[in-house]
Amino acid sequence: MKKILYPFTGILLAVLLTVPILFLRKLPESQATAAPLALKAKGNPDAPIHLVEYSDFQCPSCQTIEMPLNDIMERYSGKIYLIYKHFPLVSHKFSPLAHQAAECANEQGKFWEFHDELYKNQMVWSSAIDPLKIFQSYASGMNLNQGRFARCLENASVAERIQADKREGQAAGVVSTPTFFVNGTMLVGSRQFLENADRTIREKLALEK
């Protein structure tokens, strides 16, 4: 009986060892497909202040707030984690395409570079007849894969990610841009941010001590 059992056991063991090996060979491909996108954020994820920005790339006030926002980030370096959220307004004709282009740049690890380019040249592309070629030139200048970028611009799931950000903002009470949340405290518009952001951040930091 033992002589019959041992060969069978050996065959069974070989099968059990082979199945995980076959599975593991396929795993990297499935992981690459399902890999999550990098969060559109910068700063220290463990920082005591989480600053969430809902913004529209074609919004003039959003463009003017960029320099003061960068100053805040430098002043409180290491203490703020900035998270960007898409909030394209229906009143801005090219905003959906601009946000889609930025999200496509994000897929290739260049969100903030594209973000900066869009705001720096806001007057140029927002006054163009069709800004698509302008966005493609930005992508080329950043050495993005042009074929991948072009396919991404037509990808409905990317547009849905942008709308998901917007729905999240609307659920939190966002109706205009820019709107910020400093550890949950809402600051609406560039003026309110300029007048209250520094004080609000200091108050939040004091609570963390």
Determine the average pLDDT of the residues in 112-128: 98
Q: How large is the average pLDDT for residues 103-124? A: 98
For the beta sheet containing 80-86, the strands, ordered from the edge strand earlier in sequence to the opposite edge, are: 41-43, 80-86, 49-55, 179-182, 185-188
Q: pLDDT > 70: what percent of the chain?
A: 82
Mean pLDDT of the chain: 86
With tokens 């396919």, the residue in question is 151
Average pLDDT over residues 8-26: 38
Buried-state track 185-208, b at ≥16 Cβ within 10 A, e below 16: eebbebeebeeebeebbeebbeee
For domain 41-208, say whether CATH 3.40.30.10 is its number: yes
The closest alpha carbon to 43, from 22, 74, 4, 88, belongs to 74
What digits encode the pLDDT tens for the residues 56-113? 999 999 999 999 999 999 999 999 999 999 999 999 999 999 999 999 999 999 999 9
pTM: 0.81
- Cβ(63)–Cβ(100) under 8 Å? no
Closest by CA to 56, choosing from 112, 111, 132, 115, is 115
pLDDT at 38 (0 to 100): 63
Neighbours of 10 (CB within 10 A): 10
- R_g of the chain computed on alpha carbons: 24
| Structure confidence at residue 209 (pLDDT) | 72
Written as one letter, the residue type at 120 is K
For residue 176, which of 11, 62, 36, 42 has the smallest C-alpha distance? 62
Tell me the pLDDT band of 37, cut-offs 50, 70 and 90. low
User: Is the pLDDT at 10 greater than 50, yes or no?
Assistant: no
Q: How far is CA 54 from CA 33, 88, 116, 166, 200, in A?
A: 28, 9, 15, 8, 17
Residue 189 near residue 61 (C-beta atoms within 8 A): yes
> Is the per-residue pLDDT at 150 higher than 80?
yes
Backbone angles phi and psi of 82, in degrees to 5: -95, 125
Q: Which residues of 75-85 are buried (b: 16+ CB within 10 A; e: fewer)?
A: ebeebbbbbbb
